[in-house]
Structure 1
Amino acid sequence: MRKKKVMLLCTLIFCCILSACGQKKEEKSEKPRPAAELPEKEPDIDKKNPVKKDTDKTEDKKKEDKKDVKTAPKAEKPKEKPEAERLIQEQTFDTELIPLGNVTFASYLPDTSQMPYGDAEFKVSQNQQVIAVLSGMNQSNTRKEETFHKVEAVSFPDYNQDGYDDIIIICSYLPDDRTKGVYSEARLYYGSAEGRFTLDIGLSEQVNADVMEKTIQNILDFLYQDTDYAEIPQTDEPDDSQADTAWKQAFADYIHNTYGQGGVAGYQLIYVNDDDIPELAVIGNCEAAGCRIVTYANGQTYEKHLRRTNFTYIERENLLCNSDGVMDGYYDLVYCIIDGQMTLIAEGNYGAEDNSSLQVDENGNLIYKYYWNGVEMTEEDYNSALNEVYDMSKAAQGYETGAYYTVEEILAELENN
């Protein structure tokens, strides 16, 4: 009986072992389901904004990328150059212009950073205030297919003989077509009783067409031989008996009318041209007051205010030279009497570009730059050009300290002359 129970128990244990082995085999034989048969995972949906979260992330990424992209900085427009940097020192003058009086005429380079084809600019100032800006050759003050090169010369003659000073300017230009080379162009401005300067386009064009070598002297020669501009109506000349006394009375009236203004040390009578009427030299009592030359013609007096006091003249050869300067800036201004008035016919300037930092050569001589009628040259050529117009060996001194008449003496001299 006991053997039967043991055998039954062994049989049950064996059956359990077989059953467990069968289950393992079935689990191993089950193949994995294909990926296509796996259930699709639903995307996460924002209930308020039915857009896929992946899309939101993409948009955010784009925004971040945009933030990272740096835009190139905009090119800044070049700053306008100050006038002081564009000032042409050798073509800037302190002078007297009728009817304005003492003024500063300033020449400026064009600001090519703003206008590559810009032209030079010219201004007249008085008491540090700009009172006139000369108009350009066209409304925009620019050139066409050429660039500004240099201001060659500036002069202030009364070229139309109306009693008011005018302005002649010569500039040179460099064409884009380099085979043509640099050329010069003149512009003429006529003055008025109101102190305005107007560009004479017609006369400027005529001068540029007919005067081949453009210098101040050549332009004046052209103007004075052209009857359209030289024949100015004049008053009737008094007869000889009247002429003998008219100029004396005119000078006496001038002295009485101006003596009270001050600034006068004395007077001289000099003979500049070859007629029988002398010129009245009014000597200033200081360098700043300068000297004045008073001429008589056509029944009236004309006055030319010289710079500072020093001047010489070649007696009866119709030439006078105002030579003076200060602070390493000097000049020689040559005048002659045309139609009764002192007229500038040639000018020279020389000196240091910067008198605060003077340079010397190997011999210890100061290094100056020399310009005759606006053209730079050597000192030797400058002196030669001056002597061609004005022979210094013939010159008589016009200003000498103490060598002049008092007001009472000059009036007596006029009476007895």
Structure 2
Amino acid sequence: MKKRILSLVLIFTISSVCSGCGLEQARDNGPKSLTDSSKDVKEVAVDEEEENYDDVKIEVVENASHSDEYNEAFEIGDRIGASYMRQGDAEVTEFESWQEGYKALIEDCNNDGYEHSYALIYVDGDDIPELVYKTYDDQVAIATFTGSTVNIFSSQLQDIQYIKGTNNVIAHENIVADSTLNDYVVAIKDGFWVQIAYGTSRPMDIWAEDSFDENGNPIISYWEINGEELSSQAEYDEMLLKYIDTNSVTPGLENGGESYEAILAKIDSMK
């Protein structure tokens, strides 16, 4: 538990200091335990007031075969991430189209003083793409659009991978100060990001000298997925396969992504 609390503090710190790219309001909810679907889990602030999305067409992914574990986690559907608030706005920004929303987010990124790259991908079965983009300090985030809002999943993510059209995304996180590797398996449900699985691996005791090799690299000896402790990396990898086929994933930012000018031109061509 101490490890998880420390990780959350680091995540919050990074999110709170980033400017632009929608990160300053993308408060991380932390990894959820999918073995407990109780309603006392805190959701993002923008979800405190229920909104009616009856007019939003939610596509069902055809021919996407998922495991029982995936389907159960999807039904629980703990939301993660936050809805995008454009720079200067006092509340979540609403847009008339996904093109308008993504372009506003891209403009915020372009104005924050850092270098960024972008890609449009298709996570689920609808005709609205998701936006993957490089953020602060070479970290990565992913946005989707529903009704009128852009909804972002971000953390200290190194990379995002997905299987096209199957509603299956995996994001990898390396908390260097914590000697911890995290995997998030996420999906889109009713236009918002939900957590399917959360895995973590680290030394059993990060403060012990024998938890590191002669080069100072951490020796991984503890593995966990969705609160279940595992005995080895092989067992960890096997359980992760129940939630996403890691042998079939594609990089979200393939070939490094596209430039500011190129991604805006692509979005404009899709109107």
TM-score by length of 1: 0.44
Write out aligned runs for 1:3-14 (5 A): none
- 1:277–1:375 CA distance, 2 compared to 1 (3 A): same
The equivalent position to 2:164 in structure 1, one of 291, 315, 328, is 315
Cα displacement (A) at 1:218: 4.7
Q: Cα gap change, 1:272/1:264 in structure 2, threshold over 3 Å: closer, same or farther? A: farther
Q: How far, CA to CA, are the matches of 1:284 and 1:253 in structure 2? A: 15
Tell me if 1:404 matches 2:257: yes
Instruction: Tell me: CA distance 1:399–1:409, structure 2 relative to 1, closer, same or farther (3 Å).
Output: closer
5 Å-filtered alignment, 1:106-125, equals none
Q: Cα deviations across residues 247-305 of structure 1 (Å, max 9, x unaligned)?
A: 22221222223421234421111111111111111113524xx2111111112211221
Match of 2:2 in 1: 88
Whose radius of gyration is greater, 1 or 2?
1
* From 280, 301, 305, the counterpart of 2:150: 301
Structure 1 residues 95 and 414: CA distance shift in structure 2, 3 A = farther
Q: Conserved in 2, the CA contact under 8 Å of 1:307 and 1:322?
A: no
For residues 301-331 of structure 1, give each alpha carbon's deviation from its aligned partner in whole angstroms, at most 9, with x where no partner exists: 1122132321211111111111131443101
TM-score by length of 2: 0.65
Identity of aligned residues (%): 20
Q: Which amino acid aligns with 2:161?
A: T
Number of residue-to-residue matches in the alignment: 216
Distance 1:407 1:415 in 2: 12
- Judged with a 3 Å threshold, the aligned counterparts in structure 2 of structure 1 residues 216 and 168 are, in CA distance, closer, same or farther, namely farther
Structure 1 unpaired stretches of 5+: 1-86, 97-101, 105-125, 128-162, 173-183, 197-214, 225-244
Q: Give the partner amino acid of 1:320.
A: V
2:137 pairs with 1:286: yes
Q: Which amino acid aligns with 1:384?
A: E
Instruction: Report the residue type matching 1:377 in the other structure.
Output: L
**2:45 aligned residue:** 193
Whole-Å separation in 1 of the counterparts to 2:30 and 2:137: 28
Q: Which amino acid aligns with 1:283?
A: K
Q: Partner amino acid for 2:150?
A: T
Residues 342/251 of structure 1: CA separation in 2 closer, same or farther (3 Å cut) = same
User: Residue 394 of structure 1 aligns to a residue in which SS?
Assistant: coil
Give the whole-Å Cα distance in 2 for the aligned partners of 1:185 and 1:312: 26
The alignment's C-alpha RMSD in Å is 3.9
- Aligned partners of 2:146 and 2:257: how far apart in 1? 24
Alignment correspondent of 2:198: 347
One-letter code aligned to 1:190 = K
Q: Which runs of 5+ in 2 are unaligned?
A: 18-25, 49-68, 79-95
Q: Relative contact order, CA 8 A, sep 6+: which one is greater? A: 2
Return closer, same or farther for 1:331/1:415 CA change in 2, 3 Å cut-off: same
